Amino acid sequence: MPSVAASFMTEMAMAHVPVLTQELLDVLDVRPDSRVVDCTFGAGGHAEAVAAGLGEAGLLVACDQDPIAQDYYATLRSSLSCPSRFYLGNFRDTLRGLLEEGLAATHIYMDLGVSSMQVDTVDRGFSYSYDAPLDMRMDPSLSLTAADILNTWAERDLAELFGRYGEERYSRRIARAIASRRTRTPYGRTAELVDTIKSAIPTPARFGAGNPARRVFQALRIEVNDELNSLRQALPEAFALLEPGGVIAVISFHSLEDRIVKEFFASRVKTCTCPPEFPICVCGGSATGQLLTTKAVTPGPRELELNPRSSSAKLRALRKL
């Protein structure tokens, strides 16, 4: 009889719906002997689907910085048809460690952003839909929380953060309201931040598409977890870890992530690395990668209907030459 903890994990995994699963399987096209690295294991939805194509000669390496993911891996491991192992930590560090170990991967994939298991766990503070501590750490060992940022950062720095990472139109107004409110009472709860955001923006903006706090919460989450820098550092490590002919695939969820992935892939497809001011090519360079997706793959109508959270997902893939 399964334990209460195992039953809870199973229920949560079933509630988590991985996005673009079939599209990811198609672009990876794993073989029974493939060596696959899942950089963002989460609840294991993508890993379970990918591992179904692996056999005893294959390998699945699972990575995640959230300790909860390790529990999901423990429940899934016995059902896998291939050897597997799990690494707890930020994928930029895990990929570097795997490279030092000498692993040659045939496939690497990343599903970026916050997962349903994090959003729907109330006390993690990722969601603006529940009142919870302003935490937002994917790795609970990190020192910086969302509350720390709100209570200590200068008003101008908050405005820049909300504008850059959240693409928030009213970033300055919201930052000003936060700076004013925290002089009376420091921020500690998500509901306090939501109330401040709603009071700071024009009335019509409170009733637009989506929750008006969405962009600020996104910006805070990205900063707390250093998500964009982690991605910038991880992509070269992942590409170096791939053997020739190997495939890297990335699912992103907002324009900042997608831009980083798109520019990295473009840099590997370029044949010339000479400075733009050079009249002719003198480097003799050649492409090191081949795009498998000429444009981003997005969810189809059926997936959007079944899983509205997939609406912003974009999949890009590259083969190493």
Q: Which residue in 205, 226, 219 sits closest to 126, CA to CA?
A: 219
Q: Global pTM?
A: 0.89
Q: CA of 256: how far to CAs of 90, 107, 238, 242, 314, in Å?
A: 19, 24, 19, 24, 12
Q: Where in the chain is the domain with CATH 3.40.50.150?
A: 4-117+227-320
The number of C-alpha atoms within 13 Å of 134 and in the hemisphere containing its C-beta is 21
Alpha carbons 64 and 43: distance in angstroms, whole number: 10
What is the structure's pLDDT at 120? 67
Instruction: Tell me which fold the domain 122-225 belongs to.
Output: DNA polymerase; domain 1 (1.10.150)
Q: Are 91 and 230 in contact (CB under 8 A)?
A: yes
Instruction: Tell me which fold the domain 4-117+227-320 belongs to.
Output: Rossmann fold (3.40.50)
Alpha carbons 62 and 39: distance in angstroms, whole number: 6
| Residue tagged 């996005």 (tokens) | 19
What is the structure's pLDDT at 278? 80
Quick one: tokens of 196? 């401040």
Residues 6+ away with beta carbon under 8 Å from 87: 61, 62, 63, 94, 97, 98
Quick one: tokens of 255? 């324009």
Alpha carbons 116 and 129: distance in angstroms, whole number: 13
Q: Which residue in 211, 190, 96, 215 sits closest to 135, CA to CA?
A: 190
Q: Are 197 and 138 in contact (CB under 8 A)?
A: no
Q: Are 291 and 219 in contact (CB under 8 A)?
A: no
Residues 6+ away with beta carbon under 8 Å from 89: 63, 65, 139
Q: Are 222 and 165 in contact (CB under 8 A)?
A: yes
Q: Where in the chain is the domain with CATH 1.10.150.170?
A: 122-225
Q: How far is CA 156 from the centre of its chain?
A: 27
What is the structure's pLDDT at 169? 95
What is the structure's pLDDT at 10? 40
What is the structure's pLDDT at 6? 41
Each residue's pLDDT, cut to its tens digit, for the chain (321 residues) gives 444 344 434 444 444 579 999 999 999 999 999 999 999 999 999 999 999 999 999 999 999 999 999 999 999 999 999 999 999 999 999 999 999 999 999 999 999 977 666 666 767 888 998 899 999 999 999 999 999 999 999 999 999 999 999 999 999 999 999 999 999 999 999 999 999 999 999 988 787 667 899 999 999 999 999 999 999 999 999 999 999 999 999 999 999 999 999 999 999 998 877 887 888 777 777 899 999 999 999 999 999 999 988 999 999 999 999
Q: How far apart are the first and last CA of the chain?
A: 49
What is the structure's pLDDT at 123? 73
